[in-house]
């Protein structure tokens, strides 16, 4: 096996940053105030794995994959570095942040220049890995597995190593098949595979029979696809309206063979490449960037929202952390919650009251939010304050908010005269809104010398609910708390008020006065008073939050809330669950901004829409969804320690939306094949309200004796799904993409007569 074929450098050959990483160097690893140890780090030859020495017994070295890194942060930006190092080493520090729940790696380099070099080099190789074409990723993955299988490191593969390799790539074969495959590739009859024989072996493994059939049907020009053939395929199969020029552009973009490219032809390799690109994916590529009107009032959008944002785990004893805010914001969460309590040394802290969760400084959270709020989405972020502080620390909260957020904080209305509606996400780009209690009406901004007569507000809120559910003495509904004028004054468009019924809200509440609803109250309203709830949400914002009894930080079902037009449906982002997958799916299109424009019938004051009792109306656009599950590619093994843990995959299809549209169907399971299982099974769904429907694909490892294990999943809005032959990427339980794994399906949406 030639070493350069496995290097994975892909365009970085000879690059100085790559050479720096391959050479490696000593860094100080920081775990606590007393634990700071020098360790050697370097990039391995596969250009995909970082090796570092370890002094643990039985573990002389450790590795982690570049693909496991979520981001690299320069400076003292992690909690660990802020706590255990001082300002003097600011420029020499950096942190490696991992996907999932793995702890950060906090490091100090010998100098600022060396730290900068590490960060720059790591970011370059991470970006290079992300930008590898799907085809290259597959090749990279296979060669990496081959390399692991080459036990004696002689660049050749024996039959024994081949069998080990087949297990690595999740294919179980009997001895006779392994021998046949080996014999077919071992042209030199040397008893090992090397050079071109390995390439042949690779071609056999990556052969996609189902793609061959499609390609051969349309390749009418000397065995290849001309631009006209490709156009024919896109029009007839993909049902996309496109032009010959667009087909030529695709050939220039994805064809690998230069001579075919010059003839405006697409080879089978080029066609497979195209099918794996955004144009061949199930998510409408035109819906990937911001495509919706962002100039409507803020309450006309669903807003991606987090509950107990400060928690990394459960809400009884889990750690509170600025990292939890960073992770939520980087996932385009646009409404975060801050549970504020009096802290020691006069500084307010954030944690889950009446519980054993750890505490984090309010000002540190605001600094982290300021730093990371707009890295993924430039649209506004709402800070939902749950205020339990006494006056002095409330004043300090207001001071921190105004000094740290500066001009980005909306501290007064944008309009010159009293507004009657919300500004739009477009007008609020890069701005922060505070949601909390306010002592007076918004008119005070326009009335000179207006006085606040009472400095108290009612104290009913989420924490009061939590105390009841945790068995502590509940606070009286009429109990009052003193509110600092400084904190009250920076609450502009999101004033918290108690909900006393839809009629009361209609007659007494201003548009900027919003209520929070516990999940069971909201569910009851969504099921029994849906149309009234929808009308309420045409004018005002509603925030839904999980019941305090969910001590494990589990999530409620968000879809009924969205069906009733509720905008701020707050979920526990730290909990990996189906509900979070649905949230990720809803907010997948529109540039992943965290804002999705509600359907017109949820923005209309005269709407008669009722999700639980469908009547005729603009919302009723009956569709038939035909889905064929064709195949899957490179499904990961779930238990990598067990050599024989080949998966038995099945695919489940789930439709969510109005109750009449909810449905689930699944394929049969395929034994012992996670590499290229083929189902070719067709399913049909009736969808009545497509604008509220979400489609979820779930791949599981079938187990006859216990619950199936999740292999991967993907959710997207029905209206963002493309017709034709489509690839679907698969995500881990925590929502990160699984490199190389995917589903191949055929989609056909038709109007129901």
Known binding positions for Ca(2+)? 308, 337, 339, 386, 646, 648, 672, 701-703
Question: 149: closest CA among 116, 117, 105, 182?
Answer: 182
| Contact present, 238 and 722 (Cβ < 8 Å) | yes
- Per the document, the length of the chain is 753
Task: Give per-residue burial for 184-200: e unless 16+ CB within 10 Å, then b.
Answer: ebbeeeeebbeeebbee
| Contact present, 164 and 145 (Cβ < 8 Å) | no
> What's the rounded Cα separation, in Å, for the pair 308 and 352?
8
> What's the rounded Cα separation, in Å, for the pair 339 and 386?
5
State the DSSP string of 223-281: TBEEHHHHHHHHHHTS-----HHHHHHHHHHH---HHHHHTTEE-HHHHHHHHTSGGGB
Tokens of 534: 């929808």
Which residues are CB-neighbours of 716 under 8 A, at least 6 positions away? Answer: 282, 283, 585, 588, 589, 694, 695
> What's the rounded Cα separation, in Å, for the pair 352 and 572?
13
Annotated binding-site positions: 29-56, 308, 337, 339, 386, 435, 437, 516, 543, 646, 648, 672, 701-703
Question: 137: closest CA among 259, 276, 289?
Answer: 276
Which residues are CB-neighbours of 262 under 8 A, at least 6 positions away? Answer: none
**Alpha carbon 555 to chain centroid, angstroms:** 16
| Contact present, 273 and 254 (Cβ < 8 Å) | yes
Which residues are CB-neighbours of 19 under 8 A, at least 6 positions away? Answer: none
Catalytic pick among 287, 307, 536, 581: 307
Burial class (CB in 10 A: 0-12, 13-18, 19+), 609: buried
Tokens of 57: 């017994």
Sign of the CA dihedral running 70, 75, 76, 77 = negative
In this structure, are strands 301-306 and 595-597 parallel, antiparallel, or unpaired?
antiparallel
> What's the rounded Cα separation, in Å, for the pair 119 and 117?
6
Q: What's the maximum distance between 2 C-alpha atoms anywhere in the chain?
A: 96
Catalytic pick among 140, 276, 352, 536: 352
Across the strands, what pairs with 717?
694
Tokens of 25: 């160097």
State the DSSP string of 437-462: --SS-GGGGGSTT---S--EEE--SH
Rounded to 5 degrees, what are φ and ψ at 149? -75, -20
Tokens of 493: 């468009």
State the DSSP string of 166-209: HHHTTB---HHHHHHHHHHH-TT-SSSB-THHHHHHHHHHH--H
Q: Is there a catalytic annotation at residue 352? A: yes
Annotated binding-site positions for substrate: 29-56, 435, 437, 516, 543
- Helix crossing, 268-275 with 134-149: angle to 10°? 100
Rg (CA), the chain: 28
Question: 32: closest CA among 88, 93, 72, 82?
Answer: 82
> What's the rounded Cα separation, in Å, for the pair 534 and 564?
5
| Contact present, 378 and 394 (Cβ < 8 Å) | no
- Helix crossing, 391-405 with 362-372: angle to 10°? 20
Q: Is there a catalytic annotation at residue 557? A: no
> What's the rounded Cα separation, in Å, for the pair 45 and 65?
12
User: What positions carry a catalytic annotation?
Assistant: 307, 352
């Amino acid at each position: 096996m030639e070493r350069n074929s496995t290097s994975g450098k892909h365009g970085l050959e000879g690059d100085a940053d790559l050479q720096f990483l391959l050479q490696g160097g000593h860094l100080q690893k920081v775990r606590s105030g007393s634990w700071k140890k020098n360790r050697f780090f370097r990039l391995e030859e596969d250009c995909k794995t970082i090796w570092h020495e370890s002094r643990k017994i039985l573990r002389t070295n450790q590795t982690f994959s570049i693909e496991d890194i979520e981001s690299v942060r320069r400076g003292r930006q992690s909690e660990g570095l802020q706590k255990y190092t001082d300002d003097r080493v600011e420029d020499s520090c950096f942190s490696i942040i991992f996907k999932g729940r793995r702890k950060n790696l906090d490091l100090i380099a010998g100098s600022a220049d060396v730290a900068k070099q590490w960060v720059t080099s790591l970011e370059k190789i991470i970006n290079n890995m992300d930008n590898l074409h799907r085809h290259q990723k597959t090749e990279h993955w296979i060669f990496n597995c081959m390399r692991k299988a080459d036990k004696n490191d002689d660049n050749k593969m024996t039959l024994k190593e081949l069998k080990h390799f087949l297990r690595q790539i999740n294919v179980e074969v009997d001895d006779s098949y392994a021998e046949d495959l080996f014999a077919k590739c071992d042209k030199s009859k040397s008893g090992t595979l090397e050079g071109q024989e390995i390439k042949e072996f690779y071609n056999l493994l990556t052969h996609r029979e189902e793609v061959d059939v499609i390609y051969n049907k349309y390749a009418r020009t000397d065995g290849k696809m001309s631009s006209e053939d490709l156009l024919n395929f896109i029009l007839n199969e993909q049902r996309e309206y496109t032009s010959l020029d667009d087909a030529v552009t695709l050939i220039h973009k994805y064809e690998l063979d230069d001579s075919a490219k010059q003839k405006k032809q697409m080879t089978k390799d080029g066609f497979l490449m195209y099918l794996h690109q955004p144009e061949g994916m199930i998510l409408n590529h035109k819906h990937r960037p911001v495509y919706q009107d962002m100039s409507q009032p803020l309450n006309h959008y669903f807003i991606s929202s987090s509950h107990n944002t400060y928690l990394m785990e459960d809400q009884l004893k889990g750690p509170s952390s600025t990292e939890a805010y960073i992770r939520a914001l980087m996932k385009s969460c646009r409404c975060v919650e801050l549970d504020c309590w009096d802290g020691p040394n006069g500084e307010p802290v954030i944690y889950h009251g009446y519980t054993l969760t750890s505490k984090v400084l309010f000002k540190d959270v605001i600094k982290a939010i300021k730093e990371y709020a707009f890295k993924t989405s430039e649209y506004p972020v709402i800070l939902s304050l749950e205020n339990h502080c006494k006056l002095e620390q409330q004043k300090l909260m207001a001071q921190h908010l105004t000094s740290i957020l500066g001009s980005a904080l909306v501290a007064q209305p944008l309009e010159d005269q009293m507004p009657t509606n919300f500004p739009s996400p477009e007008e609020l780009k890069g701005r922060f809104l505070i949601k909390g209690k306010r002592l007076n009406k918004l008119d005070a901004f326009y009335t000179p010398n207006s006085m606040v007569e009472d400095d108290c507000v009612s104290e009913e809120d989420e924490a009061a609910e939590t105390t009841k559910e945790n068995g502590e003495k509940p606070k009286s509904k009429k109990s009052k708390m003193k509110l600092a004028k400084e904190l009250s004054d920076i609450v502009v468009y999101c004033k918290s008020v108690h909900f006393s019924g839809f009629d009361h809200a209609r007659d007494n509440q201003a548009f900027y006065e919003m209520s929070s609803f516990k999940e069971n109250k909201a569910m009851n309203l969504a099921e029994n008073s849906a149309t009234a709830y929808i009308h309420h949400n045409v004018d005002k914002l509603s925030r839904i939050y999980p019941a305090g009894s969910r001590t494990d930080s589990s999530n409620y079902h968000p879809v009924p809330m969205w069906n009733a037009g509720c905008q701020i449906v707050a979920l526990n982002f730290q909990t990996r669950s189906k509900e979070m997958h649905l949230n990720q799916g809803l907010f997948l299109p529109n540039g992943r901004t965290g804002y999705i424009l509600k359907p017109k019938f949820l923005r209309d004051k005269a709407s008669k829409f009722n999700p639980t009792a469908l009547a005729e109306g603009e919302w009723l656009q009956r569709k038939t969804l035909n889905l064929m599950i064709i195949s899957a590619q490179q499904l990961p093994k779930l238990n990598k320690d067990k050599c024989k843990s080949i998966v038995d995959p099945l695919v489940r299809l789930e439709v969510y939306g109005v109750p009449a549209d909810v449905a689930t169907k699944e394929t049969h399971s395929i034994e012992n094949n996670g590499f290229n299982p083929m189902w070719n099974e067709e399913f049909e769904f009736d969808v009545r309200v497509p604008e509220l429907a979400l489609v979820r694909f779930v791949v599981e490892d079938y187990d006859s004796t216990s619950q199936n294990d999740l292999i991967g999943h993907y959710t997207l809005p029905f209206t963002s799904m493309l017709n034709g032959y489509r690839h679907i990427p698969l995500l881990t339980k925590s929502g990160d993409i699984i490199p190389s794994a995917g589903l191949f399906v055929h989609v056909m949406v038709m109007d129901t007569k």
